[in-house]
Structure 1
């Protein structure tokens, strides 16, 4: 019985070691594949017709404004002013009548003098995967600027690459918040899971819906 248990433990440790190595390798590959297309200076972000803004909570659970949200909104408004993008696709979670990320972003951008004509709201961006897939399949965007924190952009760019979207990343200012290391660690796991989504188990977005292409003003 002891030898059987010892064999099981060895097999388990070997499997966990293989899993850890696989996660590291996948992450290094994704980072190497995408880092050259991430710009950290907003005025230098490559010009694209549509900027995909990823939703996040406007307020922190412990109270106060979410700096990640504020940075994404302020950067998006600046990109429009600088004419680095023509249009913003605001994609986020709309899980309840009291929690609506696209509407929150829309209101914040309106307060920053962004016109309705320059914004489209995606209410079914329940995840990074869903937001990027829907940007192409629902809103007809085959060229995108992805707007988010720099540690989030590699995964989003990797998804866009797999879908054949010509994409670049514009990293918003990130001063960090307490406990950010947990988000960065989770992102390493999320990148590995995304590899599986795209190449192993064929993930589909939660909801697609009819084709509603973004009409860009000339």
Structure 2
């Protein structure tokens, strides 16, 4: 009986230690990135505006969340904060294409195709940032996503050696935000380990496509 009590106490103490560590990491990620979250008018001149993917509708239209990201990115582009877009998202199947949908939205808003680079293998925030550095040779970037997600994205990018700044795209309210925020706590811990300790390579890499070139080279045939 005494052994069982000790075992339960040990498990409880371990659980408390893990939870405390997770909270510390969450606050570290948030606080470290906060200094680099800026208003649109404060965004520095950069190599590119990186728009992170979000869900697209079955009819090929952008979701409200993704539409707000793209509209915010367009405002930065029209203010000449960066000459290129890097749209990074999930295009892992023929039937689901976040990057193509984002590019179509931008070209409909009069952005030349040569200024839009497509990262078809941005399956996660970490992979998007890793590929931005190692495939697209991005050195300075403005990241656009909603505020709940932005600090993690900026933290990962800066941990990987990109001079990254973030602009929030919170133009409206969104469904399921409490669920997104709860998941973000776990995601910050995971990406802290990835970006600061493990540095795993993404599932897909490929040849370099420098952001200084022509974005049309990134279109899938």
TM-score, normalised on structure 1? 0.90
Give 1:178 deviation, angstroms. 2.7
2:161 & 2:202 partners in 1: Cα distance?
16
1:44 to 2:35 alignment: no
- The counterpart of 1:212, out of the listed 205, 209, 213, is 209
Instruction: Name the structure 1 match of 2:162.
Output: 165
Find the residue that maps to 2:86 and give its secondary structure.
strand
Instruction: Name the structure 2 match of 1:178.
Output: 175
- The counterpart of 1:57, out of the listed 35, 55, 58, is 55
Post-superposition Cα deviations, 1:60-112, rounded to whole Å, max 9, x if no partner, equal 9xxx9622111111111221111111100011111211101100101111121
Q: Give runs of aligned pairs for residues 26-45 of structure 1, distance below 5 A.
A: 26-39=25-38, 41-45=39-43
2:5 & 2:51 partners in 1: Cα distance?
50
Q: 1:201/1:214 Cα in 2 relative to 1: closer, same or farther (>3 Å)? A: closer
Q: Unaligned regions of 5+ residues in structure 1, if any? A: none
Stretches of 4+ moved more than 4 A in 1?
none
Give the paired residue count: 212
1:143 & 1:199 partners in 2: Cα distance?
19
Q: Unaligned regions of 5+ residues in structure 2, if any? A: 215-221
Find the residue that maps to 1:38 and give its secondary structure.
coil
Find the residue that maps to 1:169 and give its secondary structure.
strand
RMSD, matched Cα: 1.8
Instruction: Name the structure 2 match of 1:109.
Output: 106
Post-superposition Cα deviations, 1:32-69, rounded to whole Å, max 9, x if no partner, equal 11112112x32332221211110111239xxx962211
TM-score, normalised on structure 2? 0.89
Find the residue that maps to 2:205 and give its secondary structure.
coil
Give 1:126 deviation, angstroms. 0.8
Query: 8 Å contact 1:53–1:89 — kept in the other structure?
Result: yes
